[in-house]
Each structure stands twice: as structure tokens, then as C-alpha cells.
Amino acid sequence: MALIKSISGIRGTIGGKPGEGLTPLDVVKFTSAYGAWVIHHTKNPKVVIGRDARISGEMISKLVSATLQGLGIDVIDLGLSTTPTVELAVPLEKAGGGIILTASHNPIQWNALKLLNDKGEFISDAEGKAILESAEKEDFTFAEVKKLGKYTQINDYIDRHVEHVLGLKLVDVEAIKARKFKVVVDAVNSTGGIAVPKLLRALGVEDIEEMFCTPDGHFPHNPEPLPENLRDIAEKLNRGKYDLGIVVDPDVDRLCFMNEDGSPFGEEYTLVAVSDYVLSQTPGNTVSNLSSTRALRDVTQKRGGQYQAAAVGEVNVVNKMKETNAIIGGEGNGGVIYPESHYGRDALVGIGLFLTHLAKFGKSISMLRASYPNYYISKNKIELTPEIDVDKILEEIKRKYSKQPINDIDGVKIEFEKEWVHLRKSNTEPIIRIYSESETQATAEHLANKIILDIKEVISGS
């Protein structure tokens, strides 16, 4: 069993003993701490909740709702929903916060509570630490019987989300409809199975093959939308009857596309393509995290804008976007953040913008992909013994490559002419994660292996 507490929420496997897995006691304690924070900091005792289709979701949702009511907080329950839908609903409902019940791309045995502020954005580092401390101390007080919170269900927020996407000025429904796209959707039997086909039909896409779109939480494959997990949709596309494939994760904040021949468009290139379209219509700046492809920087500079890198984590990307007035940004895992809509990763917004771009491009999706710079990312890690000083290793690597451009806002990222390597230490285990990117997979892996050798030399010499 596993239970991971972080500044963004609590995540764990269902069952086991309290403190070792995500048990009802852990859910109640953590929800209580968050609810107390909402009451104290926003003076607005109203919280929006929504969940993905995980088997444990209904049970967790009832615990969360009852706990919030017990604190005197009114609960607005969206039921089966998506992460970006809840994010949109929080300010629309004038709530003091929101909780999304989802473990995102993690397997079926996991669930989690993701915490939002009154803007529908993820809470800050400081706020998350305060809530964790409150949970540990059990520093919260429940309401008297006549002051218990009310419970309300709203079941049409996905429809409202779809209408919101249609209303974005850069989403061209007529252009999409005119292309008569034939689309395959893999929604891993979660809430994307409700939202994505509904959005596509609203965009004028009539020919839709729904794969794994029954929101029953029985994931047919590992839910992380990586090529090795998408063999079924790749095989269907390879038969040559469709224009593209669309894949989302269980809570619909990550988005990736598949080419008409079944090959991956590339999860990293979701943000690149959407940004290219947005920049072509409204020039400006972009942001992604340090571990995302440099293709976004290339596209941004080509369009006359400035690119900035943020520390890994959605809240860090959002903060950097606000700081630099970025008009588009996100993460290389297929997370598109479009401030014109809201400051959160949103696969539905990404679909609307991407299909508009592809429709106006006028050619196949594989030809669109070929129009962008080619980069390949290699992801590795090196496991260390607990007594090793990881910070000292990172400092030594910085010193060795001090003649290269280095960004150390989140680990150590070393830039070379056409490639980079990013080293990050894990907060939960003695591991250094090593991401490298180059113009070929072989050179990306060679760069990673070179850095791994450097790390081993530092260890052996210490």
C-alpha cells in the first residue's frame, strides 16, 4: 500500500491501514484540514467537487462531501466530471475552493484529492504545506448541528464546459465541420468517454469511433497516454479509415493525438501544435516546464514571441505564465493551459484549438507533425543509497558544466546547442531523474548515459 502527501493533495492506493494507504480515515482527516483552510482563508464556506470514473470514486466522494458538510461547508457535487470542468466551475459557482477526486494517470488501485483555490487553480506551495500541517495536528473544528453544510448536485457542467470551448474565439466550428474529420477516441473508460465525444459532436464531427468510452472505471490498459499503452487505437488507425486519434487520461487534463497511420503525433507536440496555432493568431509569449521539448521555444521564437521555462509542476507553470503574460503554455505531457479559457490543463480546450489548427492546415495530421522540429526525449533515473547527498551531486554536476547555460530553479538543467539534460531529485526516494533531449533518440540516450557516468564519478570520488 502507498500514501503520498504533497503540497498539491493526497494520493494513495485504496485500502490498508491508516497512514499506509488511502483509507477513509486519511480522506476524512485531509479533507477536514482543507475545509478548515477554505473557511479561514476565503471566508467562503462553499466547495465544488467532481470525480473521474474510478471504481473507488463514489466511496471517496461520499466521504469528502460528508466531511465538508460536517465542517459547515456547502458542497456542490458535479458527479462524474473532469479536472478542468471542476476548475471552471469553482469561480462560476462563486465557491471558496474545489476538490477533484482523481489519481490522474495512475492505475486503477489509486485515487487522490487534488485541491483548488477560489479561482479554480491549484493551491500554492505554502498553502499546501499549511494544510498538511493542519492534517497532522488535526487542527480543525466541526460545525454544530444547526450549522451543517448543504449538499447540492449539478449534473450538466460537462455540457457547460463544451459550450465554453465552442465560445472561444480561436475555435472555428465551421472550419472543423467542413473538414468532415473521422476520429477515433480512447478515453480509458473514464469521464473523457462522456466529455470528448460530446465535444466532438458539438464541433461538427459526425464520424466518431468510441473506444473505451464507458465511464465505469475499468481501465482497459495502463491509463497513462503513452505510445506503449495505446496499441489498440494504433491498430484501428493503421487500417486506414480515420483521420486521427484522440487520447485522454482518466481526468481529461492530458491530451495526445495519434496520426492517421497509427503512429503517435507525440505527447510533447500537443502543446507545440496548439501553441503554434494560437501564436499565429495572437502573437505573444509561451511557457512550459524545464522537462518539456525545446520545440516550443523554436516555434515561439519563429512567431516572434519569447519563451520561458518554469519549474516542473502545473502551479509553477501557471505562476510563470502570469509573470510573463504568456498567452499559451503548459507541460510536455500533453497539458495545454490557455489563459483565455482558464489557468489549468484542459484537454477539451486543447481539442478545440488543435482541430481548428488541423482544419485550417488543410493536410493530414502526420504532415502537420512533420512541419515541426524533430526532437526526442529520453527519460532515465539513477537510484542512490539513502546516505548519499543528492544536493552535493547536483552541485558537482553544475560545477563540471559551468561553461554551459544552466538553469537551477528546479534541479539542474544544462543547455547545449541543440540538446539539453535535466536532473531532478525525487522528494520521496533517493533517486535522481534524468531527462535529456536531442535531435535523435540515440543522441538523447547518449547524453543521458554521459551524465549518469558523471554522477557515478562524483559518487565514487566523494
| pLDDT > 90: percent of the chain | 92
Residue for grid cell 564519478:
457
Query: All domains of the chain, ordered by start, with CATH?
Result: 3-154 (3.40.120.10), 160-370 (3.40.120.10), 376-461 (3.30.310.50)
β-sheet bridge partners, residue 412: 423
Rounded to an integer, the average pLDDT of 354-377 is 97
**Structure confidence at residue 3 (pLDDT):** 87
**Structure confidence at residue 304 (pLDDT):** 97
Rounded to an integer, the average pLDDT of 173-182 is 98
Quick one: pLDDT band at residue 13, thresholds 50, 70, 90?
A: very high
Q: What is the rounded average pLDDT for all residues in the chain?
A: 95
What's the pLDDT tens digit per position in 85-106? 999 999 999 999 999 999 999 9
Amino acid letter, 249:
D
What single DSSP character describes residue 190? S
Cell of 363: 493536410
CA 344, 348, 351, 354 torsion-angle sign? negative
What's the pLDDT tens digit per position in 378-402? 999 998 888 888 889 999 999 999 9
The helix (run of H) or strand (run of E) holding residue 245 is: strand 244-248
383 burial type by CB count under 10 A (0-12 exposed, 13-18 middle, 19+ buried): exposed
CA 430 – CA 179 distance, rounded (Å): 51
What's the pLDDT tens digit per position in 115-145? 999 999 999 999 999 999 999 999 999 999 9
What's the pLDDT tens digit per position in 277-322? 999 999 999 999 999 999 999 999 999 999 999 999 999 999 999 9
**Structure confidence at residue 386 (pLDDT):** 83
Query: Per-residue pLDDT for 169 more than 80?
Result: yes
**Structure confidence at residue 385 (pLDDT):** 86
3-state DSSP assignment of residue 256: strand
**Structure confidence at residue 384 (pLDDT):** 86
Quick one: pLDDT band at residue 31, thresholds 50, 70, 90?
A: very high
CA 366 – CA 443 distance, rounded (Å): 24
370 burial type by CB count under 10 A (0-12 exposed, 13-18 middle, 19+ buried): exposed
Query: Per-residue pLDDT for 9 more than 90?
Result: no
**Of 69, 261, 41, the residue nearest 149 (C-alpha):** 69
Active-site positions read: 104
CB 164 within 8 A of CB 88: yes
**Structure confidence at residue 1 (pLDDT):** 67
For residue 5, CA distances in Å to 287, 425, 427 come to 27, 17, 11
What's the pLDDT tens digit per position in 188-243? 999 999 999 999 999 999 999 999 999 999 999 999 999 999 999 999 999 989 99
450 burial type by CB count under 10 A (0-12 exposed, 13-18 middle, 19+ buried): exposed
CB 336 within 8 A of CB 356: no
**Structure confidence at residue 379 (pLDDT):** 92
Query: Per-residue pLDDT for 168 more than 80?
Result: yes
**Structure confidence at residue 462 (pLDDT):** 61
